[in-house]
Amino acid sequence: MGFTTRFSNPHQFQKLANIMYPWIMAGAALSFAIGLWLALVQSPPDYQQGELVRIMYVHVPAAWTSLQLYTIMAVASAIGLVFRHTLTDVFCIAAAPVGAGLTALCLITGSIWGQPTWGTWWVWDARLTSMLILFLLYLGYIALRHSFEDHERGGKAGALLLIVGGVNIPIIKFSVNWWHTLHQPASVMKLSGPSVHSSILMPLLVMGLAFNLLMFGLILLRMRTVLAERRMEAIAQRMSDEEASLTDRSSPPESAFS
């Protein structure tokens, strides 16, 4: 049994997840502690923006991880469709709200950052617009999954949507950049200060690691929840089926399938 197929069994996966979960969360807590200390205490304030620049240490990792997660979901969906791997769908269900949350965090912190530096909560900047579209992609996936009763059908429909959306992301990115350069507003200040110094880069990378660990920790937690929910559904289904067959002896057994 190969490495990947072994963990397509939900039971095996849960064993592994139970072992990994506390370690990942502990790692997330540790790297958040180090990262936040580096970001909020150690790193110097920006010569133009002062203390305000510290928003970046939440904003940028959120942007990284949200993009990264969508890519992982699209690849996982492709694997799930091709190899009929059952857990990829559970992964995508569990990951989508986390991704939407990260994208929202990125948009909100960006907005809070934009108000004092640009003087407005929102501009139709190319990057902002792309993040907004990414947020819509996450919401669309979540909405699609919620409108299916049947897990298998919903899973396949969702997987196709994720793959098509994944192919679409570079096109969106390119078109929005192009659109933005066409309509370049004059007032927007660009944040191209000095090239990134290591005193800024270090906390940023540690925060990136922390966000990654937290993201995967949360996904693992949610995957366990989804698996538990499905098992509950299966048990409830079986119980109601048994009840029906006990009380309803007069009808032919085929009726259970209708």
Partner 1 sequence: MKLFLRLLANDLRLLARHKSEWATLMLFFVTVIVLLPFALGPEPELLSRLAPGLIWIAVLLMSLLALDRLFLQDARDGTLDLIRLSPLPLPLLVFSKVMAQIIGMLAGLMLMLPLAGLLLGMEIRQLCVLAASLLLGVPSLVLVGGIVAAVTVAVQRGTALLTLLLTPFYIPILIFAVAATDASAMGGSIRPQLLLEAAILCFLLPLAPLVTAAALKQSD
Residues that bind partner 1 (CB under 8 A): 133, 136-137, 139-140, 143-144, 147-148, 153, 156-157, 160-161, 164-165, 168, 171-172, 174-176, 178-179, 182
- Residue closer to partner 1 by CB (options 55, 133) is 133
118 or 148: CB nearest partner 1: 148
DSSP 154-213: HHHHHHHHHHHHHHHHHHHHHHHHHHHHHT--SSPPP---SPPPHHHHHHHHHHHHHHHH
CB of 72 to partner 1, least distance (A): 18
Largest CA distance in the chain: 84
**How near is the Cβ of 101 to partner 1 at its closest, in Å?**
18
As measured in angstroms, the least distance from the Cβ of 219 to partner 1 is 23
Residue 177 neighbours by CB under 8 Å, 6+ apart: 126
CB of 141 to partner 1, least distance (A): 8
Find the shortest distance in angstroms from Cβ 246 to partner 1. Answer: 31
Chain centroid, CA 13 distance in Å: 20
- Cβ closest to partner 1, residue 181 vs residue 198: 181
CA atoms within 13 A of residue 178's CA, in its CB half-sphere: 6
139 vs 188, beta carbon nearer partner 1: 139
Q: Match 């790193």 to its residue by tokens.
A: 43
Based on CB atoms, which residue is closest to partner 1, 147 or 187? Answer: 147
d(CA 101, CA 115): 21
- Least spacing, CB of residue 43 vs partner 1, in Å: 35
Percent of the chain that is helix, strand, coil (3-state, to 5): 80, 0, 20
| CB nearer to partner 1: pick between 15 and 146 | 146
Token match 């990994």: residue? 20
